[in-house]
């Protein structure tokens, strides 16, 4: 595994909702997953440290989304175990939340109503208001999803995911459908919320530059396992477009193309 130290990054910090629980630990042990005789993952071992931001990259069809679904408890391994804080992933409950490429908002509910869906202990208007403030949508609480832009809808989805202070946030290409500027804004928001709240994050993305900008560690998936692992030591904010970032991106792309 290679380790790279980055220079400070020039990203503004938005208002943030502080979590009241520490990040969750994720462990996959000897995990294999097959579909109709086709083995997608083979004897894979992976540990995600509490509070870590991990990105998973690789060629299409390499098993990235399969791996994320296993961590989310939406699928079970053919062999092996997947745990979140020592509990089987499918029993993790409120300890984890997931964001998809589509925001999946309820069209008949207001923005505030959609965020409240993320709560499990009954109505909590204060928590909803704080979550919307954290994603800079406090003034849109009474809007309908149809009145929002694509980026705003994904911010609502992010607020909904984090309103209950989960220990683990799973991100399945949540920014893939956004325009470049909105995507950059959302990247900054997600990383800054992670830095302040301390939850564990696992991102699946096809965008290597996105993975490098957001992550503490990046794994390249392929041939049923982990082909490459890069750990990034952040000493402060990361400057986008720096030579350090470009070098890391090039190394990871080389590993993907070599798979």
The pLDDT score that the predictor gives to residue 23 is: 94
Task: Tell me whether residue 161 is in a domain.
Answer: no
Q: Are 38 and 223 in contact (CB under 8 A)?
A: no
Is the per-residue pLDDT at 259 higher than 50?
A: yes
Task: Tell me whether residue 110 is in a domain.
Answer: no
Assign 5 a pLDDT band (cuts: 50, 70, 90): very low
Higher pLDDT, 9 or 131: 131
Task: Tell me whether residue 25 is in a domain.
Answer: yes
Mean pLDDT for 83-109 is 93
pLDDT digits (tens, 9 = 90+) for 77-91: 999 999 999 999 999
Q: At what angle do helices 150-162 and 125-134 cross, to 10 degrees?
A: 130
Task: Tell me whether residue 132 is in a domain.
Answer: no
CA 116 and chain centroid, separation: 20
The pLDDT score that the predictor gives to residue 237 is: 62
Task: Tell me whether residue 127 is in a domain.
Answer: no
pLDDT digits (tens, 9 = 90+) for 184-237: 999 999 998 998 889 999 999 999 999 999 999 999 999 999 999 999 877 666
Task: Tell me whether residue 220 is in a domain.
Answer: yes
Look up the domain containing 182 and give its range.
Answer: 2-104+168-258
The pLDDT score that the predictor gives to residue 37 is: 83
Question: CA–CA separation, 230 vs 201, rounded Å?
Answer: 16
The pLDDT score that the predictor gives to residue 242 is: 78
Number of structural domains in the chain? 1
Copy the structure tokens of residue 105: 């908002």
Mean pLDDT for 15-22 is 46
Q: What is the CATH number of the domain that holds 30?
A: 3.40.50.300
Is the per-residue pLDDT at 238 higher than 80?
A: no
The pLDDT score that the predictor gives to residue 9 is: 37
What b/e readout covers 26-63, taking b as 16+ CB neighbours within 10 angstroms?
A: bbbeebbbeeeeeebbbebebebeebbbbbbbbeeebb
Least confident of 11-20, 58-67, 122-131, 165-174: 11-20
Q: Are 177 and 101 in contact (CB under 8 A)?
A: yes
């Amino acid at each position: 595994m290679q380790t790279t130290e980055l220079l400070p990054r020039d990203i503004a910090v938005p208002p943030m909702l502080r979590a009241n629980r520490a990040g969750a630990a994720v462990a996959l042990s000897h995990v294999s997953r097959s579909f109709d005789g086709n083995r997608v993952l083979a004897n894979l071992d992976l540990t995600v440290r509490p509070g870590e931001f991990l990105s998973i990259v690789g060629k299409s069809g390499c098993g990235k989304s399969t791996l994320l679904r296993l961590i989310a408890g939406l699928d079970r391994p053919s062999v092996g175990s997947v745990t979140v804080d020592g509990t089987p992933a499918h029993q993790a409950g409120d300890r984890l939340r997931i964001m998809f490429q589509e925001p999946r908002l309820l069209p008949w509910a207001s923005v505030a109503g959609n965020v409240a869906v993320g709560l499990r202990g009954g109505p909590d208007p204060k928590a909803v208001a704080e979550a919307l403030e954290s994603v800079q949508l406090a003034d849109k609480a009474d809007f309908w999803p149809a009145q929002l832009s694509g980026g705003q809808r994904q911010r609502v989805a992010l607020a909904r995911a984090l309103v209950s202070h989960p220990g683990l946030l799973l991100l399945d290409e949540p920014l893939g459908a956004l325009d470049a500027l909105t995507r950059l804004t959302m990247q900054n928001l997600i990383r800054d919320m992670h830095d302040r709240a301390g939850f564990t994050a696992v991102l699946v993305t096809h965008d290597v530059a996105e993975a490098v900008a957001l992550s503490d560690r990046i794994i390249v998936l392929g041939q049923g396992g982990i082909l490459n692992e890069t750990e990034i030591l952040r000493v402060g904010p990361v400057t986008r477009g720096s030579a350090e970032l470009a070098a890391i991106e090039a190394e990871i792309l080389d590993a993907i193309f070599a798979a």
